[in-house]
Amino acid sequence: MKCFSFNSLKKRRAVNQVMGSVVILGVVTSIGSVVLFNGMNQINAFSYDLSFHDKAKNEAYREKIMFEHVRFEPGTDQIILYLANIGTTESTIESITVVQLDTQNILVDWEDSMNSTIQIKESSDPIILDANLNPFTWDDSTYRTSEYRISITTSKGNFFSTVASPYNT
């Protein structure tokens, strides 16, 4: 049996700290890159799979219409809407509804047979709506002091609305 003396333990040398760090770095890097690339492949496969599921629903999430201006034409019963498409897909308007908020009367129930299409990042042509005010106009006190909810429904099933009042009252 061999005996170790104190002097023989002193002569042994440990692995240099720099060399140890390089070896550990190599091990961590190789394992980490395998995990990273495998994870990225899984994420790409998941994204690719999502692109095939319900494409219409994915497009509906990217649709956004903004009301640029609502004009209640003085002396008439017309409303002029200026809309802008700020989404990333084109929008087709199927219906527009105008409701007087205090009485809940539906003044406009418009369904366009030709469907107005608003291209991406563009303003629409003005949409002129005739309200059902009977013999009255927007100048009448019944309509001048009320607020109106204007709602738009698109072909993708989205719903956009705003509240407006004549002459900024």
pLDDT in tens, 51-105: 777 666 777 778 888 898 899 988 888 899 888 888 888 888 888 899 999 999 8
Taking residues 126-134, what's their average pLDDT? 82
Q: For residues 90 and 64, is the Cβ–Cβ distance under 8 A?
A: no
Residues 6+ apart with CB under 8 A from 58: 50, 51
> What was the pLDDT predicted at 6?
58
Q: Which pLDDT band, with edges at 50, 70 and 90, does 36 fall under?
A: very high
Q: Which of 6-15, 70-79, 102-111 has the lowest mean pLDDT?
A: 6-15
pLDDT in tens, 138-166: 888 888 888 999 999 888 889 999 999 98
> What was the pLDDT predicted at 30?
92
Number of H helices, E strands in the chain: 4, 7
Distance, in Å, from the CA atom of 56 to the CA atom of 92, rounded to the nearest integer, reads 13
Identify the CA nearest to 66 among candidates 164, 152, 165.
152
Distance, in Å, from the CA atom of 65 to the CA atom of 88, rounded to the nearest integer, reads 10
Distance, CA of 155 to chain centre: 16
Q: Is 137 exposed, middle or buried (0-12, 13-18, 19+ CB in 10 A)?
A: middle
* Tokens, residue 65: 């219409």
Identify the CA nearest to 165 among candidates 68, 66, 65, 79.
79
Q: Which pLDDT band, with edges at 50, 70 and 90, does 31 fall under?
A: very high
> What was the pLDDT predicted at 4?
57
SS3 state of residue 33 = helix
Percent of the chain exceeding pLDDT 70 equals 82
Q: For residues 86 and 65, is the Cβ–Cβ distance under 8 A?
A: yes
**In 10 A of CB 59, how many CB atoms?**
15
